Amino acid sequence: MTSPPKRDMTPEQEQRVAAIREQFQQRRAIGQRLDRIKHKIGVYSAKGGVGKTSVAVNLAVLLAQEGARVGIFDVDIDTPNVTRVLRISEPPTKDGEVFIPSSRFGVKVMSMAFFQKDEEEATIWRGPMIHNAINQFLMMTDWGDLDYLIVDLPPGTSDAPLTVMQTLNLDGFITVTTPQELAKLDAKRSINMIKRLNLQVYGVVENMAGEIFGRGAGQELADEMDLPFLGTLELRADYRDDKKPTVLTSDTVADEFHAIAESLRAEIASRAQ
């Protein structure tokens, strides 16, 4: 039997094939890692400083306290804060080509901060670099079996959060708003952006409610956008003690997060039907 004539590819074609093959292998490797995570949930708002990181960290710690297997992935590439809030400094251990995330308060943690030389350094990355970095992280991180991976997103509607959303393929989002009218408007933009990417929003959390900023914008936003309202977090001095996540130092805050976790679980369950 004669073998078919060998058709030589041009160097460009060969390169292209190699690139496709690599992309395919990367996707498969990421798929295998993420298959072991039941729920991948992003915490997001276009507005900065509304409490995304606080919500992500406290929710993760509370879910772990309740017995779930939880990881937190800080993809705020410019200014990763999760490690500071969790007061974690040991980088993940490396086993060959694989990162084993460090654990803190029962939560596995992966953050860009581990790979920055000093804490004050801001990383300025563009879309394709972010895409590659996140893919690299996803491929190399062995989370093990997780019930929840909570993802802390950067603020804004620019390149960074968009790329993260597209790359990570999250199951759904929690949108955080504060009671001010302007925050509500930004949160609305955030929800529209998520929907435009054909991704789900599990619901809205109102943070920093109380006498100073008022209350009610979260519920209003949820009603206007036809989304569940997941709960309210009051503005409290308890957050000032930054030695531990606030759910571990304040029973009142733990109760607030417990209520949010309940609504979230109910929402996830109802969507799975």
Ligand X SMILES: Nc1ncnc2c1ncn2[C@@H]1O[C@H](COP(=O)(O)OP(=O)(O)OP(=O)(O)O)[C@@H](O)[C@H]1O
Residue 140 sits in the site that holds ligand X (CB under 6 A): no
The phi, psi pair for 42, rounded to 5°, reads: -90, 145
207 near ligand X, judged by CB under 6 A: yes
Chain residues 157-196 in contact with ligand X, contact rule CB under 6 A? none
190: Cα separation from own chain's centroid? 14
One residue of 33, 41, 54, 184 binding ligand X per CB under 6 A: 54
**Residue 28 burial (CB < 10 Å; 0-12/13-18/19+)?**
exposed
Minimal distance, residue 205 CB to ligand X, in Å: 10
User: Are 167 and 75 within 8 A, CB to CB?
Assistant: no
Interface with Mg ion (CB under 5 A), residue from 30, 33, 51, 53: 53
Matching residue, tokens 């803190």: 104
Q: Cα separation of 124 and 64, whole Å?
A: 33
Report the residue number, 79 or 102, with the smaller CB distance to Mg ion.
Answer: 79
52 is a site residue for Mg ion (CB under 5 A):
yes
CA distances from residue 105 to 141, 212, 247, 261 in whole angstroms, order as listed: 19, 31, 11, 17
Of all residues in the shown chain, the one whose CB is closest to Mg ion is: 53
Of residues 34 and 248, the one with the C-beta less far from ligand X: 248
State the nearest-atom distance from the C-beta of 102 to ligand X, in Å: 20
As a whole number of angstroms, the distance between CA 130 and CA 136 comes to 10
Shortest Cβ 73–ligand X spacing (Å): 14
Binding site for Mg ion (CB under 5 A): 52-53, 81
Binding site for ligand X (CB under 6 A): 48-54, 76, 81, 155, 207-208, 233, 235-236, 239
